[in-house]
Chains A and B, each alone.
Chain A
């Protein structure tokens, strides 16, 4: 079974620039998550989708972050404009509706300089 795919793996941008991350969840998983993990901390949920609807985006900085999952499969997370404190690993994850187990992708490492 293929895992959660993410791209790009690494990105370096200057502050005030924009960046987009892509995620393809495990086939058949209705729930998709975007987590932000700052070095030395646990993952923090940014947004959770079920199919193409948003379940929870309470911790998403909506003035600069946006995410979509238009067809209920792939998802993109965008940051515009980026700030230095956005430097982190952006983890996409997915789970089925039945099971609680969350499967994480390898992550997209963002450095804002």
Chain B
């Protein structure tokens, strides 16, 4: 079955430093979504990427979808303490109706 892997599992950064998490799928994806889960909270939708090579920005967050549509990344510029949480990618392949979540990257921002 489809597998979605994320690295790193954990990342500690100093406030103001940049952060990147990477997502890789075992199969070609029709689209990929990113979610953020605050400690003790539930996943909250951030963005969806559909096109090969697509790049989208949300303020300090930049999302990329690979040319082969098998990988994606989320980059945060100048992290803030409000960025703390676990970031999940979730992909859907082909005609599959199921969205498969990665294992997440837990971000800690030190003040």
Contacts and interface: CB of A to CB of B under 8 A. Distances in A.
Contacts of A68: none
A56 B1 CA distance: 14
Interface string B78-103: 00000000001010100001111111
Interface residues of B, number: 21
A101 B100 CA distance: 14
Contacts of A103: 45
Contacts of B99: 45, 102
A10 B92 CA distance: 31
A56 B101 CA distance: 15
Contacts, number: 46
Interface in B28-82: 31, 33, 41-45, 48
A10 B3 CA distance: 30
A5 B31 CA distance: 27
A49 to B, nearest CB: 11
Given A100-B48, A102-B45, A42 B104 contact: yes
Interface stretch (A18-26, A72-80, A104-112): A104-112
Nearest to A42: B101
11 contacts: A42-B6, A42-B88, A42-B90, A42-B101, A43-B43, A43-B101, A100-B31, A101-B48, A102-B33, A102-B99, A107-B42
Given A42-B90, A45-B100, 17 more contacts: A41-B104, A42-B4, A42-B6, A42-B102, A44-B101, A48-B97, A58-B98, A91-B42, A100-B31, A101-B48, A102-B33, A102-B43, A102-B45, A102-B99, A103-B45, A106-B41, A106-B42
Interface of B: 4, 6, 31, 33, 41-45, 48, 88, 90, 92, 97-104
